[in-house]
């Protein structure tokens, strides 16, 4: 059954984004895949309402965002505030990391994600 709150335009944009991961998004995807054996089921570029989450674990209601330079503008910050408010109203926790954090400090980023995901992970996830 189709998700009626997701427009065809948003769905197509998500498909395009999945094909065009940035270097930081590819690094994040590799990190998140390390949690897969413990039950984490993140999806890339997932439409949620009118927005597209970079990475979402829907059953855990956890979203990971990897932000580039466009998020540092006034327009980008305002968009992120509106977007995060919508996602919070939908019951999601949103974690944001900028590209440099992901590429230069992946261990720190992974620990933060693992801490937030811990209640949903199977045993043995250190």
State pTM to two decimals. 0.84
Percent of the chain's residues with pLDDT above 70 = 90
Structure tokens at 45: 């570029």
Q: Where are the domains of the chain?
A: 8-119
Q: For the domain bounded by 8-119, which CATH number is listed?
A: 3.40.960.10
Task: Give the tens place of pLDDT for each residue, 55-92.
Answer: 999 999 999 999 876 656 677 788 889 999 999 999 99
> How much is the pLDDT for 1?
42
- Polymer length of the chain: 126
Which helix (H) or strand (E) segment holds residue 62: the answer is strand 62-67
> How much is the pLDDT for 123?
75
Percent of the chain's residues with pLDDT above 90 = 67
């Amino acid at each position: 059954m189709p998700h009626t709150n997701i427009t065809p335009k948003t769905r197509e944009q998500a498909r395009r984004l999945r094909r065009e991961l940035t270097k930081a998004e590819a690094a994040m995807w590799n990190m998140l895949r390390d949690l897969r054996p413990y039950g984490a089921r993140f999806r890339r570029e997932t439409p949620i309402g009118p927005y597209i989450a970079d990475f979402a674990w829907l059953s855990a209601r956890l979203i990971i965002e990897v932000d580039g330079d466009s998020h540092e503008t006034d327009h980008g910050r305002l968009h992120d505030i509106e977007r995060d408010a919508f996602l919070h109203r939908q019951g999601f926790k949103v974690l944001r990391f900028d590209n440099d954090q992901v590429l230069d400090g992946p261990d720190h980023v992974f620990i933060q994600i693992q801490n937030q995901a811990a209640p949903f992970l199977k045993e043995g996830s250190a």
